[in-house]
């Protein structure tokens, strides 16, 4: 009699012979071992076939299938495995990721507790391969164990669109003919949206069920689809998938509220990722991007826009209006409370982002800055914009001369020169440099400062890490405001060795594009002092000392 496993886990792979054994090993280490493992190869041309066959020969639970030609995506290898999967429950794993040891057991227990659910899902651990830092993907969505009676009860779950974080009942997929769409990218978004909408009930557990390795700086040839946002084809693929989801919602007669939730997810997650990249894109890319997304943006639910923070709505509207240089400037402030360089008021005194009054009612609504209260909010939360307009090496071994221009569109600073301070804190040790900002015109100030990084007082065990200098201003009442210091995006980095460290001054290269300073210990600090300090820090005495200090601070 043929043996039927409890769960089939499909591992899809393409030209990944190096990492495939790690993925399979994570399945072999599952605490629930009654599983079938299918390695589905999208016609690899490296050593993957040999590695996969050896893995299959060594474990009777493993089988290997190879597509006759490369499909260029994740869908076809998953669907081919679905055709031969024998278990009543199904999971999917990418060859560059892993399952935590209890993943299968935890999700299967959720199905057995509630046999009527269509799938179970859990937390996803994100691991940065460059730093080893671990975080949880969409933690607020998986923090509480619960069973959801259909996506209409929690439409915010559209944000968790990964197919790999879920265990599906095979009967559910077959009943609806639900398979991965072939020939397109971002297939998970369509598949997951359909699964959410078709499921009568699904269970969410807070336990980690997937380990997702993120390589943000991978070479283009090795980067995942989501890390290829620099390609206009990537933008077109993402918009195309959204259109397919929209068609599915219309044909299924789903409510406008569900469509609004899906539109909000696109604006808040998908568009937001591209928006953060806008300052680093050239004119041709920006024009192509706007030409692709603008027609789609026009059809999204107005209430979805209304739920966004003002800064994101400003970038969206500037793109829709074709004000692409302005969109670049606005995008540098996303998530950081950075003011525009200038504002403009109409005849009624309404204040808008940028140098021109918007031409349409919709644009005036989206670009209005009334809710930011630039001229009245408490000084510590006032919004300024600090930009380095010139940067060069200073006279010292690790010093830098900065020419800083500060914009005060709310006119919060008094007329006349201002005292400003550049602050940076490697190893929790503050280094400051005071300088004078002179008025250029109302709301604009400029000044020069020498930041001598060799003067930083570093810990005895050294410091390894990145810090971004900040700029502080004080009001006449003595209140302090601290803001980002934006750098030119393309200045040449320079490196110096000083005080047992290699110090590099460079543009951030991601996010807002701040000035960035990197410290790396060298010599005896790396080989002897830091290892010794780590051993001492792990002793019981050191732990008790830290506890006492925390109590004293409290």
134 burial (CB, 10 Å; 0-12 / 13-18 / 19+) is exposed
Q: List the one residue out of 137, 3, 111, 19 whose CA is nearest residue 11.
A: 19
User: Can you give the pLDDT at residue 227?
Assistant: 57
State both tokens at 532: 């010794």
Using a pLDDT cut of 90, give the percent of the chain over it.
Answer: 85
Report, as an integer, the average pLDDT of 376-399: 95
User: Can you give the pLDDT at residue 538?
Assistant: 52
Contact between 8 and 35 (Cβ < 8 Å): yes
CA–CA dist 224, 218 (Å, integer): 8
pLDDT band of 221, cuts 50, 70, 90: very low
Backbone φ and ψ for 344, nearest 5 degrees, come out as -140, 145
Least confident of 127-131, 218-222, 507-511, 542-546: 218-222
pLDDT band of 441, cuts 50, 70, 90: very high
User: Can you give the pLDDT at residue 53?
Assistant: 97
User: Can you give the pLDDT at residue 130?
Assistant: 83
Q: Does domain 7-214 have CATH number 3.90.550.10?
A: yes
Least confident of 373-377, 457-461, 500-504: 457-461
User: Can you give the pLDDT at residue 228?
Assistant: 73
Report, as an integer, the average pLDDT of 238-260: 96
Least confident of 66-80, 281-295, 519-533: 519-533
User: Can you give the pLDDT at residue 540?
Assistant: 60
Contact between 134 and 211 (Cβ < 8 Å): no
Least confident of 83-92, 229-238, 543-552: 543-552
Instruction: Look up the CATH architecture of domain 380-521.
Output: Sandwich (2.60)
3-state percent breakdown (helix, strand, coil) of the chain, nearest 5: 35, 25, 35
User: Can you give the pLDDT at residue 499?
Assistant: 86
Report, as an integer, the average pLDDT of 339-344: 96
Using a pLDDT cut of 70, give the percent of the chain over it.
Answer: 92
């Amino acid at each position: 009699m043929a043996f039927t496993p409890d769960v089939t886990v499909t591992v899809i792979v393409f030209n990944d012979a190096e990492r495939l054994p790690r993925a399979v090993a994570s399945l072999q280490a599952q605490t629930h071992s009654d599983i079938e493992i299918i390695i589905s190869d999208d016609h690899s041309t490296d050593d993957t076939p040999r590695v996969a066959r050896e893995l299959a020969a060594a474990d009777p639970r493993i089988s290997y299938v190879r597509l006759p030609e490369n499909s260029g995506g994740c869908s076809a290898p998953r669907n081919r495995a679905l055709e031969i999967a024998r278990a009543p429950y199904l999971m999917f794993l990418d060859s560059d990721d892993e399952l935590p040891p209890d993943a299968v057991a935890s999700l299967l227990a959720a199905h057995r507790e509630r046999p009527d659910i269509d799938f179970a899902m859990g937390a996803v651990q994100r691991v940065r391969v460059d730093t080893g830092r671990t975080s949880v993907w969409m933690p607020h969505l998986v923090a509480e164990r619960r069973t959801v009676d259909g996506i209409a009860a929690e439409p915010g779950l559209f944000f968790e669109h990964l197919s790999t974080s879920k265990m599906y009942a095979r009967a559910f997929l077959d009943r609806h003919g639900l398979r991965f769409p072939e020939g397109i990218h971002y297939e998970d978004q369509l598949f997951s949206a359909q699964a959410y909408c078709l499921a009568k009930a699904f269970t969410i557990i807070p336990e980690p069920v997937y380990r997702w390795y993120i390589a943000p700086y991978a070479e283009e040839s090795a980067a995942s689809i989501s890390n290829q946002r620099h390609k206009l084809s990537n933008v077109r693929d993402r918009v195309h998938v959204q259109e397919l989801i929209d068609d599915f919602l219309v044909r299924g007669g789903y409510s406008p509220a569900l469509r609004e939730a899906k539109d909000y997810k696109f604006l808040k997650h998908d568009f937001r990722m591209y928006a953060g990249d806008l300052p680093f894109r050239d004119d041709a890319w920006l024009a192509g991007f706007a030409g692709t997304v603008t027609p789609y943006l026009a059809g999204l639910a107005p209430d979805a826009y209304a739920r966004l923070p003002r800064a994101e709505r400003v970038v969206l509207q500037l793109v829709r209006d074709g004000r692409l240089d302005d969109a670049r400037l606005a995008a540098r402030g996303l998530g950081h409370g950075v003011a525009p360089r200038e504002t403009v008021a109409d005849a009624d005194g309404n204040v808008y982002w940028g140098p021109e009054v918007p031409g349409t009612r919709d644009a005036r609504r989206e670009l209005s800055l009334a809710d930011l209260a630039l001229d009245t909010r408490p000084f510590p939360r006032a919004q300024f914009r600090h930009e380095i307009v010139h940067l060069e090496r200073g006279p010292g071994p690790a010093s830098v001369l900065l020419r800083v221009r500060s914009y005060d569109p709310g006119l919060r600073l008094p007329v006349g020169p201002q005292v400003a301070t550049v602050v940076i804190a490697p190893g929790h040790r503050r280094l400051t440099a005071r300088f004078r900002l002179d008025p250029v015109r109302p709301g604009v100030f400029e000044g020069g400062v020498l930041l001598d990084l060799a003067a930083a007082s570093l810990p005895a065990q050294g410091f390894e890490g990145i810090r971004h200098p900040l700029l502080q201003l004080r009001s006449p009442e003595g209140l302090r405001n601290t803001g980002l210091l934006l750098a030119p995006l393309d200045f040449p980095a320079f490196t110096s060795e000083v005080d047992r460290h290699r110090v590099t001054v460079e543009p951030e290269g991601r996010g807002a594009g701040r000035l960035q300073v990197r410290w790396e210990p060298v010599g005896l600090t790396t080989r002897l002092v830091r290892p010794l300090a780590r051993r001492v820090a792990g002793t019981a005495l050191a732990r008790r000392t830290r506890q006492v200090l925390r109590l004293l601070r409290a």
